[in-house]
Structure formats: C-alpha cells, structure tokens
Copies of this chain bind each other. A is one copy, B any other.
Amino acid sequence: MDIPTLCLGILSLGDATGYEIKKMVAEGSFSFFSEASFGSIYPALTRLTEEGLISCRAEAQSKRPDKKIYSLTPAGRAELEAALANSPGPDRNRSDFLAALLFAEAVAPHRIEDLIDERIAHHGEQIEALEVMLGAEEGAASRFVLEYGIVMQKAAHDFLVKKKKGLIAGMMAPAS
C-alpha cells in the first residue's frame, strides 16, 4: 500500500491534519503495520487535494502555521474502495533481530543470550503499550487490529522465553 492510499485510508476514519497522520503512523495503532515520514505525507496530501480525492480547510492559528484539516471526498472514498477491492499483498517483515540471531551463531554466539533478553523486554513493553491503546479504542476494526498486535507480540514473547535455553544449549553441542 503506497502512502497516498494510506492517507486516504486514515482519512476514511476521520478528518486529520498531516501532522496528526504522521503521529498515527509513527506512534498510534498504525505504527504496527505501516510507516511514513513528513517528507512523504505532506506531498501526498497536496497531490491528493489537487486530484480532488481529499479536501482541505485551513484553520488559522496564532504564531503557528495554519492547521490544514483534510477530509475524504466522495471521489476519494471511491478511490479507496477500488484500492481495497484488490487482495492485499503478503506482509513484509524485516527483522534485524532474527537476522542477527542467525548470523550470531557463526560469528558471535556469546551475543545470543543478550539479543534474546533484550527482545523479550521489548515485547513486554510493546504489549503494555498496545493494551493501553486498546483501552482507549472503540471501533470494532481498530480493536481487532490492536488485539491482533497483542496476540502476535505475546506469541513472540512466549516463544523466546520458552526456547531461549534450548537454543543456547543447542549451540553449545552443535553436531548432536
């Protein structure tokens, strides 16, 4: 999903400014399956407005740039609908952690325990953060996505806790 479509989708859930969209993808529940920076969001919003897929009303603010609040237009809604008619591509997961784990076996086996411990702690934090978000979320699909995230984080967390010792032992006795 490209960034213009992502913006359309976010705006289908409610009006927002570019700044708010950035916050959603960087920190909100969107952050678990998408990314985007100002450098891609603002130009996308400008282009989408030119194309009539979204509309923009400016709200004056003293001593700050005007807030530009974007809304999905009927044309934009139709465009989003068309995009959703296609089956989504497969998930793309980049995990430096998994790569590091795999490569550490040959090159730095002493790192493995730390790598896993760090990751376990990380999943713990993520789970907490997601649970806080879930408490504040009301939409059925939004809650579903958040619950999905929690389940996945917990699965990873529990797997690492359960298998850590086995992995370390397995590497000490490599040719067993």
Contacts and interface: CB of A to CB of B under 8 A. Distances in A.
Nearest to A156: B152
Contacts of A154: 155
B99 A1 contact: yes
A98 B148 contact: yes
A144 B19 CA distance: 41
Listed residue (A81, A85, A96, A171) with the most chain B CB atoms within 10 angstroms of its CB: A96
Contact of A9 (B30, B102, B155): B102
B88 A115 contact: yes
A43 to B, nearest CB: 20
Interface string A1-42: 100001011001100000000000000001011110000000
A77 interface: yes
Contacts of A12: 103, 106-107
A170 B140 contact: yes
A66 to B, nearest CB: 27
20 contacts: A1-B94, A9-B102, A12-B106, A12-B107, A32-B98, A34-B99, A84-B111, A85-B111, A88-B99, A91-B94, A92-B94, A101-B145, A105-B140, A112-B141, A140-B167, A140-B171, A143-B170, A147-B163, A151-B159, A154-B155
